[in-house]
Structure 1
Amino acid sequence: MPNRPYTYYDLTISICSTCLRKVEAKIIFENENVYMVKTCMTHGREKILISTDIDYYKLCRDFIKPSEMPHRWNTPVKYGCPYDCGLCPDHEQHSCLTLLEITERCNLKCPICFAESSPHKGSFRSLEQIQFMLDSIVANEKEPDIIQVSGGEPTIHPQFFEILDRIKEKPVKHIMVNTNGLRIANDREFVKRLAEYKPGFEIYLQFDSFEGEALEELRGADLREVRQKAIDHLNEFNISTTLVVVLKKGLNDHEVGSIIQYGLKQTCVRGVTLQPIQSAGRLENFDPETDRLTLSEVRQLIIDQSGVFGEKDMVPVPCHPDSLAMGYAFKKDGKVTPLTGMVDKNILLEGERNTIVFEQDENIRNMIFTLFSLNHSPDSSSMALKDLLCCLPRVNLPGDIGYDNVFRVIIMQFQDAYNFDVRSVKKSCVHIAHPDGRIIPFDTYNLFYRDDKEKELMKIREEIMMGRESSKSF
């Protein structure tokens, strides 16, 4: 009998990239790649590259730990995933990180923007609105791991510091501010005041490229000088900073290693987060068929370019392994040592454990001895990695070794209409607070729930209900 030119691996539910209605999707292995093949009865067949590494794709299926639930649900199960967000009782993960958008307005108009923000869009949310959204996050999580203040550009909100004060009043473990860095670059006193919110405070700084042409294409402006001024101010006050790189294939993907090396040399930088462009929002000069990067491609770029992280050092994040990968390193006195590869997979999957013995390196063993232990006191000044990413074991760093010595690289791939996988999105742990109090996975928010998109979703919901009524007549 003749063989098909591929190996059938799995079956899942996806959506048509045109009409956003649910369709069956096959996962196949072909020519060393992983593809999703789906067919809409109206818009035809689609074949989407979802991974360039079959072994890593399979590894993600093994990197799963028991689901951690929120303390309450926000919506009932009525139409089926992804039309019930959220969070509905059918979702399989609480919020590791929740975005709190305080404005739709921005002082840039980036050609690539999932929120389609601009100087002329929307308004500043009131303190009352923001308080309601914040209360919803806390009600879901009790002690949220991370709240990321976002927008638009949050630093232009006229009540920005009042908002930070209100978050600080809540039992939030870590606050991030997602920013393009313009105000940080141009207002030293503003940065000085930001430093008052340490510890447990971090800047999530756009840092896409060292090349003016790439920045023009992604951000609409050559921001190289702005970025350096922002880093200078953040270094001065040693405010923990993550460099956030939006990656477009063939534009800035050759800079992954140089950005990581740059971050390692900065006092304030605790890591780099790499985000392949999600096909959502404003997308100028972007072809989803040619400009997309998969998580596996970005992972290989880190391995090939960073000079720090190898194959064993970039592993799936257990709470959402399909969309998140991580690598942790220890840096001190100019030396960088990757740590993730030293940790047995079962330690990450089983959660908190008492100790890990590092046998590979005498200095590492002496300096970090109980790196993933629980024996620090409430008064300890050392920061726990678990306070930044809840699926990691807790960290205790002895003596003068603290969060300043930790460097992390995260790949954060958001799903869109092309690579959407219901099986995977149920494990999404990066969520966003809706103004009406719902907590919605970031992947589905940009597809179905942002701005007026839910009006279109209502049509799909009506079709689902009509289909159910029709089935009753048989």
Structure 2
Amino acid sequence: MPNRPYIFYELTNSICSTCLRKVEAKVIFEDGKVYLVKHCLQHGREKVLISTDIDYYKKCRTFIKPSEMPYRWNTPIKYGCPYDCGLCPDHEQHSCLTLVEVTDQCNLACPICYAESSPKRQTYRSLETIEKMLDAIVANEREADIVQISGGEPTIHPQFFDILDLAKSKPIKHIMVNTNGLRIANDKKFVERLATYMPGFEIYLQFDSFEEKALLELRGVDLRDVRQKAIDNLNEYNISTTLVVTLKKGLNDHEIGNIIDYGLKQRAVRGVTFQPIQAAGRLEAYQPETDRLTLSEVREGIIQQSGVFSEKDIIPVPCHPDCLAMGYALKMDGKVIPLTGMMDPNVLLEGERNTIVFEQDESLKGRVFDLFSLNQTPQSSAIQLKDLLCCLPKVAPTENIGYENVFRVIIMQFLDAYDFDVRSVKKSCVHIAHPDGRIIPFDTFNLFYRDDKEKRLNEIRAEMEGTSNGSVGTKS
């Protein structure tokens, strides 16, 4: 009998990339890759590349820990995921990181901006509204792991430091500022004041490329000098910094190793986060079967280009393994020692609140290794690291180890209308605070809840209501 040219692996739900209605989807293995295949009654078949590594894809399916829930829900279950955000009781993960967007205005007009921010948009959220958003996060989490002040460009908000003071007054472990770095590069007094918010404070600095062509395509302007000035100022004040790299296939993915190497040499840089480009906002449509840059390709780029991390060092993050991968290293005396591969990955599944415990010494098993957590603080990581150094080969204990010796590499993939997987989005742990008090997964927010996009969502809900009443919706 004739055989299919692929292996059918599992069934899930997705959405049509055109009309955003929910559709059934198959996950298949074909030619060494993983694809999502779906069919919309009105808009036909779609085939989407979701991984180039079948073995790693399977590993993510088993690298799952019990779901950790928020302390309250924000919306009821009525229409089903993803039409009830959020967080509704059907979601399977609390907020590891929550964004608070304080303005829609930006001093750049990046072609790839998912939020469609620009200098033309003049909207600023009031301090009162921002406090309500922070309070909603705290009500969900009691003590929030990470809150990221974002935008638009948050540093141009007229009450920027009032916002930081407000966030610092709340029970939040770690505060980040998501920025393009223009003000940091050009205003030394501003950077000096930022340093007063340490510890438990970090700059999430846009850092996409060393090449003019890539920056022009991604950001619309050559930012190489701006980036270097920003790094110089952050280094001077030793303000903890993560370099955030938006990667586009065939454009800047060959720079992964160079960016890691650069980050390792900077006093203030604690790591690099790589984000494969998401089809949202102003980004032009592309061919989902061939043009997507997947998490597995970024992982392979880190392994092949960095010279630091091996395959065993870049592993799934248990809270959302489909979309998050991580690797950690120790910087000491000019040497870089990868740490993640030294432990049994199964131990990562035993910790609480996304912490990782160390397994090499039985007496340390079960002790929280806060150093490896996305929600670590400088104080906790320094204490735990000094306790555990005796267990690491080729590392001598020292009193001078602290947060600045930690270097982390994160791959953070966001779902869009092409690769949307309801099974996966239920585990999303990167969320956005809505001004009305909802906490919404980042992936669904950009598709259904940003600006006027909820109009289309309401049309879909109305169709579902009509279907439940015996009629069939026909809107497209």
* TM-score, length-scaled by structure 2: 0.92
Indicate the residue corresponding to 1:442 in structure 2: 442
1:356, distance to aligned residue in structure 2 (A) = 3.0
CA distance in 1, matches of 2:110, 2:85: 28
SS at match of 2:93: coil
Conserved? CA contact 1:279–1:288, under 8 Å: no
Give CA deviations for 1:243-280 in whole Å, capped at 9, x if unaligned: 00000011101000000000000000000000011101
Indicate the residue corresponding to 1:364 in structure 2: none
Indicate the residue corresponding to 2:404 in structure 1: 404
SS at match of 1:470: coil
CA distance in 1, matches of 2:245, 2:360: 34
Conserved? CA contact 1:372–1:396, under 8 Å: no
1:357, distance to aligned residue in structure 2 (A) = 2.5
Distance verdict in 2 for CA 1:32–1:108, change over 3 Å: same
Indicate the residue corresponding to 1:88 in structure 2: 88
Indicate the residue corresponding to 1:451 in structure 2: 451
Conserved? CA contact 1:69–1:94, under 8 Å: yes
Conserved? CA contact 2:317–2:326, under 8 Å: yes
1:345, distance to aligned residue in structure 2 (A) = 1.6
**Counterparts in 2 of 1:266-345, with a 5 A limit?**
266-284=266-284, 288=288, 290-345=290-345
Distance verdict in 2 for CA 1:162–1:22, change over 3 Å: same
CA distance in 1, matches of 2:218, 2:407: 26
Q: Percent identity, aligned pairs only?
A: 73
Distance verdict in 2 for CA 1:223–1:370, change over 3 Å: farther
Indicate the residue corresponding to 1:59 in structure 2: 59
SS at match of 1:309: coil
Conserved? CA contact 1:370–1:397, under 8 Å: no
Distance verdict in 2 for CA 1:152–1:256, change over 3 Å: same
Indicate the residue corresponding to 1:362 in structure 2: none
1:121, distance to aligned residue in structure 2 (A) = 1.1
1:372, distance to aligned residue in structure 2 (A) = 8.3
Q: 1:388 aligns with which of 375, 380, 386?
A: 375
SS at match of 2:451: coil
CA distance in 2, matches of 1:228, 1:320: 33
Q: Which amino acid aligns with 2:360?
A: V
Distance verdict in 2 for CA 1:268–1:174, change over 3 Å: same
Distance verdict in 2 for CA 1:178–1:440, change over 3 Å: same
SS at match of 1:65: coil
Runs of 5+ in structure 1 lacking a partner? Answer: 360-368, 376-382
CA distance in 2, matches of 1:287, 1:418: 10
1:185, distance to aligned residue in structure 2 (A) = 0.1
Indicate the residue corresponding to 1:175 in structure 2: 175
**Counterparts in 2 of 1:226-245, with a 5 A limit?**
226-245=226-245
CA distance in 2, matches of 1:389, 1:24: 39
Runs of 5+ in structure 2 lacking a partner? Answer: 387-398
**Counterparts in 2 of 1:124-273, with a 5 A limit?**
124-273=124-273
1:36 aligns with 2:36: yes
SS at match of 1:452: helix
1:25, distance to aligned residue in structure 2 (A) = 0.3
1:386, distance to aligned residue in structure 2 (A) = 2.6
SS at match of 2:138: helix
Q: Which amino acid aligns with 2:314?
A: M
Q: Which amino acid aligns with 2:118?
A: S
Conserved? CA contact 2:47–2:289, under 8 Å: no
Conserved? CA contact 2:49–2:289, under 8 Å: no
Indicate the residue corresponding to 1:356 in structure 2: 359
Structure 1 vs Structure 2 CA RMSD: 2.1
SS at match of 2:19: coil
* Aligned residue pairs, count: 454
Conserved? CA contact 2:328–2:372, under 8 Å: no
CA distance in 1, matches of 2:351, 2:294: 28
CA distance in 2, matches of 1:427, 1:265: 35
CA distance in 2, matches of 1:152, 1:462: 32
CA distance in 2, matches of 1:231, 1:291: 32
Conserved? CA contact 1:205–1:244, under 8 Å: yes
1:30, distance to aligned residue in structure 2 (A) = 0.5
1:465, distance to aligned residue in structure 2 (A) = 1.3
Q: Which amino acid aligns with 2:207?
A: F
Q: Which moved more, 1:115-124 or 1:427-436?
A: 115-124
Conserved? CA contact 2:245–2:272, under 8 Å: yes
Give CA deviations for 1:271-320 in whole Å, capped at 9, x if unaligned: 00000111011115866555420000110000110101111010000000
Q: Which amino acid aligns with 2:375?
A: L
SS at match of 2:144: coil
CA distance in 1, matches of 2:265, 2:259: 10
CA distance in 2, matches of 1:280, 1:337: 37
Conserved? CA contact 2:114–2:446, under 8 Å: yes
Conserved? CA contact 2:351–2:368, under 8 Å: no
Distance verdict in 2 for CA 1:251–1:285, change over 3 Å: farther
